[in-house]
Amino acid sequence: MAPGILIVDDEKDIVDLVAYNVEKEGYKVFKAYDGEGALRAARSEKPDLIVLDLMLPGIQGLEVCKRIRRNPETAGIPIIMLTARGEEFDKVVGLESGADDYITKPFSVKELLARVKAVLRRADARQASEKAEIFEFKGLRIDLKSYEVTVGGKNVSLSRTEFNLLRFLSRNPGRVYSREQILDQVWRDESFVEPRTVDVHVRRLRAQIEPDESSPIYIVTVRGVGYKFMDR
């Protein structure tokens, strides 16, 4: 079945332009023109990806993104932010809200289609890694069943928190997470844990698994946002 893409923008011409080109690539298209419509379509259609405008009537795009991420039924849907606002601050806020990628208007249709394909590939990789008991990438091997980690064939001893951090990030390659999002997923209900705790554990984890801590190849820093596991 062809992947479904939800296109959300208050400008009908843009929705139609993106829809036309996306359909030419073989994707199924859903359309919405405001925040409420986007949330309804995300819940009812369960698209494989959402192209979401930042500036929408009613519920703004950032809030739509946050609500999609908070809902367990839609939390895993990849989101590409499409907006006229291209300042670095807006990009950071969009990524912190849970967007997977960001493209600014005016945009190249070819670039947008390339981003769509790349994000869908990453989503497929995440789903495959969630089902697999063994994760391997550039000499790093994680046995999710036995909790064993090796780098270049050598065993690495990690604390439970370090392993959980590595497991979470490696299961979501290419997706950027803020410190607060990582805390929610790795530390969960633990009280009095500061966001900077994430930095401390990332440093410890890098010391264990990275061949060169100054130039990491597994867990990389996204300036002003947080961390991600390197995309395949």
Structure confidence by residue, pLDDT tens digits, 191-209:
567 878 899 999 999 999 9
Share above pLDDT 90 across residues of the chain, in percent, rounded to a whole number: 56
Q: pLDDT tens digit string along 40-92?
A: 999 999 999 999 998 899 999 989 998 998 888 898 899 999 877 666 656 67
What are the helix (H) ranges across the chain? 12-24, 35-45, 61-70, 88-96, 109-131, 160-170, 179-182, 196-209
Q: Where are the domains of the chain?
A: 4-128, 132-229
- DSSP at 220: E
Task: With a cut of 90, say whether residue 220 has pLDDT above it.
Answer: yes
Structural contact between residues 27 and 2, judged by C-beta atoms closer than 8 angstroms:
yes
Angstrom distance (rounded) from CA 133 to CA 139: 16
Q: Where residue 232 falls among pLDDT bands split at 50, 70, 90?
A: low
| CATH numeric code, 132-229 | 1.10.10.10
| Superfamily of segment(s) 4-128 | Response regulator (3.40.50.2300)
What pLDDT score was predicted for residue 101?
87
Q: pLDDT tens digit string along 169-187?
A: 998 888 888 888 898 888 8
Task: With a cut of 90, say whether residue 129 has pLDDT above it.
Answer: no
Q: pLDDT tens digit string along 88-101?
A: 656 677 777 788 88
* Interval 116-140 mean pLDDT: 82
Model-level pTM? 0.63
Structural contact between residues 202 and 210, judged by C-beta atoms closer than 8 angstroms:
no
61-70 and 35-45 helices cross at what angle (nearest 10)? 30
Q: Where residue 33 falls among pLDDT bands split at 50, 70, 90?
A: very high
